[in-house]
Amino acid sequence: MTKEALVCWVGNKDFKAAEEGGAQLGPVLSTLQERPHRQVHLLYNYPAERVEAYRDWLESQIEVDAHLYKAKLESPVHYGDIYQEASRLLTKLLDEIGKDQLSVLVSPGTPQMHAVWLLMCKTTLKVPMLESSEEQGVGDVEVPFDIAADFIPSILAESDATLRRLASGQTATPPAFADIITQSPVLKAQIIKAQKIAERDIPVLILGESGTGKELFARAIHEASQRGGDRGAGLVSVNCGAISQALVDSELFGHKKGAFTGADKDKAGYFEVADGGTIFLDEFGELPAETQVRLLRVLNDGTFARVGDTEQRKVNVRVIAATNRDLMAEMVEGNFREDLFYRVAVGVVNLPPLREREGDLMLLTDKLLEGINSEALDLDSGYKHKKLSAKARNIIKSHGWPGNVRELQASLTRASVWSGGETITEREMREALLERPAKAGDLLGRKLDNTFDIQELIKDLKKHYIKKALAENGNNKTKSAEKLGLKSYQVLSSWMEDVGLKE
């Protein structure tokens, strides 16, 4: 059976076959002749001209579409570099093609390259492997033992749990962060930051678009901290955007009986409830100015008074705040207190949108659909386990996911509910996506209707980055102009006037 893609390094024996034209074909061509694949993806660490000549020769010998990938290696025996390059390519192809249509040829390259393929394909990625030799020909790689189990002695102490996790294909992530599913280097970097922040009892600000997992990170930080589990008062989550501005002070700090109409008894606020633990302020940027002043006081010395009361109360609470708003720009416009921002933004986690999480889209799709199936089967014994057709998967890949993981979860749920069979079709997946009108700030999603004005769009783009540059450079116009690539602060002033920004 012809598979879609073969992945491998290109080695000296392959070059020799092409350059000398001898009887030997080299591992790559030998494998493609016996095990046909439509594509071959070649990693290389040789001069580009030599590899391009080999590719042309290979395509002249057999019907195959050859793709080249230049690997940045300190040396061909550097395990870390080899792993990074091989993992990046294989993860990308798994996302695009799927495990069933992929093979890895381990033979070409250095022994270190062989070892990395073996570890990756037998632990984390589970991709079928092939090998080619002059003596044995082409065959499947059979490993008659479990790397994850057989090479980790049972007598390892608990302190060696990290090694156990690595060998079984898991990341060295504490249990609190285990629910965060990713193979994206960008998000993994933020997880490492969050783990370090969790160890320090400091305020935290989590930034990110809607649906990127801010509450998931907040819970993980809390659980991994000294306040987590049974050690503190737990995590109290507050959606600041869902509270009426007239009641937000009362909800956060409590009130005294008779403080306002309807206050028929004393009430403790969320900060008192969270005493000893953590309070998570979601949509933190929605807080009104008066509440920002009160919150600054709590962060500074842990004291506050209930609404309508003069008694000062003291709490020991860790604050984790989250927002999808550009608070730097809000400060420039005077809508958010600068002193409060810098008081909260001590430990900062910046969550990337799903479109910037390389390799995560289909990984999350499969995990979420697995959860949807499991939950539905628990509720309805007649439910048919759903899987995605190839065309439905292409619909998912081509969508922009402005609502990020939350939108992906909702869309997969809708598709699974609407699908009558076991396979979610292209039409059903397309219908499950909710088209939404472009927001004023959505520069790339505007419709080309009779209201479209490209000059206004350019003006909005200028305004966005001018505000961002000013915020990041303390309103210093000379530095901001440099950041924007403008010749002088006078040019910046002219641009500000053009887009309607006040000095």
The CATH number linked to 414 is 1.10.8.60
Average pLDDT over residues 128-152: 74
Closest CA to 425 of 390, 451, 396, 450: 390
**Tokens 């016996």 identify what position?**
34
> What's residue 144's pLDDT?
65
Closest CA to 304 of 270, 330, 336, 278: 270
> What's residue 163's pLDDT?
40
Dihedral in degrees, nearest 10, Cα atoms 214, 218, 223, 225: 130
Q: What is the pLDDT of residues 233-286, one digit of tens each?
A: 689 999 999 998 889 999 999 998 888 888 889 999 999 999 999 999 999 999
Average pLDDT over residues 210-226: 93
Alpha helices, H only, 159-269? 161-167, 185-199, 214-224, 248-253
Residue 361: phi and psi, rounded to 5, are -60, -55
C-beta atoms surrounding 260 within 10 Å: 12
Count of the separate structural domains present in the chain: 4
CATH of the domain at 50: 3.40.50.10770
Residue 165, in any domain of the structure: no
Last residue of a domain, one of 284, 318, 350: 350
Distance from C-alpha of 161 to C-alpha of 168, rounded to nearest angstrom: 11
Residues with Cβ within 8 Å of 450's Cβ and at least 6 positions away in sequence, in order, are none
Residues with Cβ within 8 Å of 189's Cβ and at least 6 positions away in sequence, in order, are none
Which residue has better confidence, 120 or 428?
428
Residue 61, in any domain of the structure: yes
236 beta partners: 279
The answer to whether the beta carbons of residues 124 and 392 sit under 8 Å apart is: no
> What's residue 174's pLDDT?
61
Q: Per the structure block, which two tokens stand in for 264?
A: 């028929």
> What's residue 170's pLDDT?
43
Domain co-membership, 119 together with 189: no
Residue 337, in any domain of the structure: yes
Length, in residues, of the chain: 503
Domain co-membership, 213 together with 342: yes
Domain co-membership, 369 together with 329: no
The answer to whether the beta carbons of residues 197 and 347 sit under 8 Å apart is: yes
Distance of CA 443 to the CA centre of its chain: 22
Residue 160, in any domain of the structure: no
Domain co-membership, 287 together with 385: no
Domain co-membership, 338 together with 364: no
Q: Please state, for a pLDDT cut of 90, what percent of the chain lies above it.
A: 45
Distance from C-alpha of 177 to C-alpha of 217, rounded to nearest angstrom: 8
The b-or-e profile of 319-343 (16+ CB within 10 A means b, else e) is bbbbbbebbbbbbbeeebbeebbeb
Distance of CA 395 to the CA centre of its chain: 20
Helix axes 361-379, 79-96, angle to 10 degrees: 60
Lowest mean pLDDT among 147-161, 299-313, 339-353, 430-444: 147-161
Domain co-membership, 106 together with 193: no
Distance from C-alpha of 36 to C-alpha of 375, rounded to nearest angstrom: 40
Residue 101 belongs to what domain range? 3-140
Domain co-membership, 97 together with 220: no
CATH of the domain at 187: 3.40.50.300
Distance from C-alpha of 45 to C-alpha of 43, rounded to nearest angstrom: 7
Distance from C-alpha of 453 to C-alpha of 446, rounded to nearest angstrom: 10
Dihedral in degrees, nearest 10, Cα atoms 128, 130, 136, 137: 130
Domain co-membership, 287 together with 250: yes
Domain co-membership, 200 together with 336: yes
Residue 111 has pLDDT above 60, yes or no: yes
> What's residue 167's pLDDT?
42
The b-or-e profile of 119-154 (16+ CB within 10 A means b, else e) is bbbbbbbebebbbbeeeeebeebeeeeebbeeebee
The b-or-e profile of 454-493 (16+ CB within 10 A means b, else e) is eeeeeeeebbeebbbbbbebeeebeebbbbbebeebeebe
> What's residue 443's pLDDT?
63
Q: Per the structure block, which two tokens stand in for 345?
A: 């933004």
H or E, element range at 5: strand 3-9
Residue 145, in any domain of the structure: no
The answer to whether the beta carbons of residues 50 and 14 sit under 8 Å apart is: no
Average pLDDT over residues 66-78: 86
Residue 75, in any domain of the structure: yes
Domain co-membership, 389 together with 294: no
Domain co-membership, 394 together with 468: no
Q: What is the pLDDT of residues 327-382, one digit of tens each?
A: 888 888 888 999 999 999 999 999 999 988 888 999 999 999 999 998 887 777 67
Query: CA separation (Å) from 334 to 328, 390, 446?
Result: 10, 50, 28
Distance from C-alpha of 222 to C-alpha of 320, rounded to nearest angstrom: 9
Residue 156, in any domain of the structure: no
**Tokens 């570099």 identify what position?**
81
- Which is it for strands 318-323 and 278-282: parallel, antiparallel or unpaired? parallel
Residue 27, in any domain of the structure: yes
Domain co-membership, 317 together with 405: no
Strand segments (E) across 203-334: 204-207, 235-239, 278-282, 303-305, 312-314, 318-323
Q: Across the chain, what does the average pLDDT equal? A: 85
